Amino acid sequence: MTPIYPGSVDAAGRRATLGVLGGGQLGRMFLHAAQRLGYFTAVLDPDAQSPAGLVSHHHIRTGYDDPAGLAQLAQLCQAITTEFENVPAQVLQTLAQTRPVAPGAAVVGIAQNRIEEKVHFAACADVSGVSCGPYAVIETPAQLQAVQADRPDLLPGILKTARLGYDGKGQVRVKNAAELAAAWAELGSVACVLEKMLPLTAECSVLVARGWDGQVVSFAPQRNVHVDGILAVTHAYEGNLPPPLATRARDAAVSIAQHLSYVGVLCVEFFVVDDGSAHGGLVVNEMAPRPHNSGHYTLDACDASQFDLQVHAMAGLPLPQPRQHSPAIMLNLLGEVWFDAGGQRREPDWQAVLSLPGTRLHLYGKLDARAGRKMGHLTITGPDVASVKTVAHRAAALLSLPGLDAV
């Protein structure tokens, strides 16, 4: 990989341009990081009002599998990434024939399929020291019957579609064999994974960045709280997890990235389970081949954000080891914030929220507020953990956010 330096001009007279497939908020924040360094940017997304498309130098308004659009993206850009894992892996493979693409199609393909993802986690468990929880694959009626008859240990559990499930979508909790059969039918009898319900004490994630040359840097693990399958609160400060557990999670995430020969920012999510040990056991849940919602606090609490590292990695620049300068709590802002208890639309009380010390508001430029839609996030930083928690609790109360007990 020959480094693509910001502000450079190639032999054809084109300025250094980085491209992204997908026009959502992750793409928008990636573009801001790239533009701050001096790169031109291009987005391929069919939505004329997409958050990333509205702030990019170039917006190719076409589908992700449109040959003409992909050719235009490749012609404009010196390197290309994706902001979400459900872009067709074949598209990344096509683009990689002429341009550096990070992450690569093979890795994204693994993350798109829970079955392949779990096989990968098992394959690197000896090195990472962490494996996934008990599960079974259900792709056929025969496999469903076999699980019902031979794997009662997996119930109660969560049935998840192998593909396209995120933020609580494509998931059904089941308590017994009858509910399992009904849930599989409800999900369309598609390929699924049944995961055993575990005695969770916490959830955490680790952000890793790996370059083309194999250099790896990472952030400290963040502790996450989900409500209805959607991230609500991220705790990012020293002591958010027991130190031995945090070290294990960080080492495991690095091992997983290395095993994949990954390039770019990777988020690995873990469950902390009550296994009777002093600090609990660690189980790997899933990975996201991109910057992640739980890492948004890095924009305000670190000297290099997850998006800065994504730019550095894909462009072949050196990867700085990020340093966190302030404890932080991030609160996710979903569409419900824009409606009162009676369902009437209202503007959130930003005057009160932004008068709180250390608050930083990030809205994503989405025009329509809907239930469950990620509209923005609020990061609170401060001189110490106690003050950050106090302000976060006040902000959550003002915005009627869930998960107050977790703040």
Which pLDDT tens digit goes with each residue over 76-91? 999 999 998 888 889 9
Is 145 known to sit in a ligand binding site?
no
Does the pLDDT value for residue 407 go beyond 70? no
Comparing 123-137, 249-263, 287-301, 353-367, the range with the smallest average pLDDT is: 123-137
Tens-place pLDDT, residues 156-199: 999 999 987 666 678 899 999 999 999 999 999 999 999 999 99
Is 106 part of any domain? no
Mean pLDDT of 378-407: 90
- To the question of whether residue 83 is assigned a binding role by annotation, the answer is no
Q: Are residue 235 and residue 342 in the same domain, yes or no? A: yes
* Residues 240 and 360 grouped into a single domain: yes
Average pLDDT over residues 334-340: 95
Q: Are residues 325 and 272 in the same domain?
A: yes
Last residue of a domain, one of 163, 196, 229: 196
pLDDT recorded at residue 404: 65
Q: Computed from CA positions of residues 101, 107, 111, 113, in that sequence, does the dihedral angle turn out positive or negative?
A: positive
Give tens-digit pLDDT for 264-274: 999 999 999 98
Position 139 pLDDT exceeds 90: yes
Using the 3D structure, point to which of 86, 101, 116 is the last residue of a domain. 101
238 is annotated as contributing to ligand binding: no
162: CATH: 3.30.1490.20
Instruction: Answer whether residue 126 is part of any domain.
Output: no
Is 196 annotated among the ligand-binding residues?
yes
Identify whether residues 209 and 181 lie together within a single domain.
no
pLDDT for position 124 = 87
The answer to whether residues 340 and 305 belong to one domain is yes
pLDDT level of residue 228 (50, 70, 90 thresholds): confident
Does residue 313 share a domain with residue 221? yes
- Flag whether 282 is marked binding: no
Summarised one tens digit per residue, pLDDT across range 2-61 is 999 999 988 878 899 999 999 999 999 999 999 999 999 999 999 999 999 999 999 999
| Token couple for 32 | 């801001």
Tokens of 254: 């690095």
What CATH code is carried by the domain that includes residue 213? 3.30.470.20
In terms of domains, do 27 and 146 share one?
no
Mean pLDDT of the chain: 94
Same domain flag for 375 and 262: yes
Q: What is the mean pLDDT of residues 55-72?
A: 96
User: Is 224 marked within a binding site?
Assistant: no
Segments forming the whole domain that contains residue 352? 200-401
Mean pLDDT of all residues in 109-138: 91
Q: Report whether pLDDT(151) > 60.
A: yes
286 carries a ligand binding annotation: yes
How many structural domains comprise the chain? Answer: 3
Q: What is the pLDDT of residue 108?
A: 94
CB 256 within 8 A of CB 222: no
Q: Indicate which CATH number applies to the domain containing 75.
A: 3.40.50.20
Tokens 């997409």 found at: 50
165 is an annotated ligand-binding site residue: yes
Same domain (yes/no): 183, 241:
no
Q: Report, as an integer, the average pLDDT of 344-371.
A: 95
Whether 122 is in a domain gets the answer no
Check whether 160 is labelled as a binding-site residue.
yes
**Could you tell me the pLDDT band of residue 406, with boundaries at 50, 70 and 90?**
low
pLDDT at position 202 is 94
pTM of the predicted protein model? 0.94
Q: Please indicate, yes or no, whether residues 229 and 273 belong to a single structural domain of this protein.
A: yes
Residue 114 labelled as part of a binding site:
yes
The answer to the question of residue 379 being in a domain is: yes
| Pairwise CA distance, residues 304 & 208, whole Å | 13
Backbone angles phi, psi at 183, to 5 degrees: -65, -40
Residue 197 annotated as binding site: yes
Residue 377 lies in a domain: yes
Average pLDDT for 94-102: 96
Q: Please give the order of strands across the beta sheet that includes 17-21.
A: 58-60, 40-44, 17-21, 79-82
